Amino acid sequence: SVTQLPGPSFHCRANEQTSRRPWPAHWTGHLVVDVSRQVSKSCGDLIFSSHTTFILTGILAYNEYGSLLVVKSASWTLGVVLSILIIASRKHYTVDVVIAWYTVPLVFFSMYRRWTTRRPMSDFIGSTTSPAF
């Protein structure tokens, strides 16, 4: 399951008028997504930050496969700056960003190690545990 917190923005507070969406006038209003409202007035916040997840995945991928040290250094610096800006813009709580900063590298390197290591089949034949491909 996913842990959901109330949104960090001011308009997400329960006593604010903007925290409640008006009921749609027509049934199609339940099906049509108002993208402009989602961008500016969204109030759902899930742990952990998907914004930070995408940033870190790009940084980690370049660090693994890229070759320019300047770009690697700049990407980590920008990743930190963007994380601070995500918190400052009240798109996510600090806990969302911090959890993403240690979860994403763990998953990235686990998947990288698990799915990119080539081992001969003889390592699996006769082993007592069954391999998970």
Catalytic residue list? 51, 92, 96
Separation between Cα atoms, residue 14 and residue 32, nearest integer Å: 24
Place of tokens 């994380």: 83
Place of tokens 């798109």: 91
Closest CA to 59 of 87, 81, 79: 79
83 within 8 A of 101, measured Cβ to Cβ = yes
Question: Looking at residue 6, what DSSP letter applies?
Answer: E
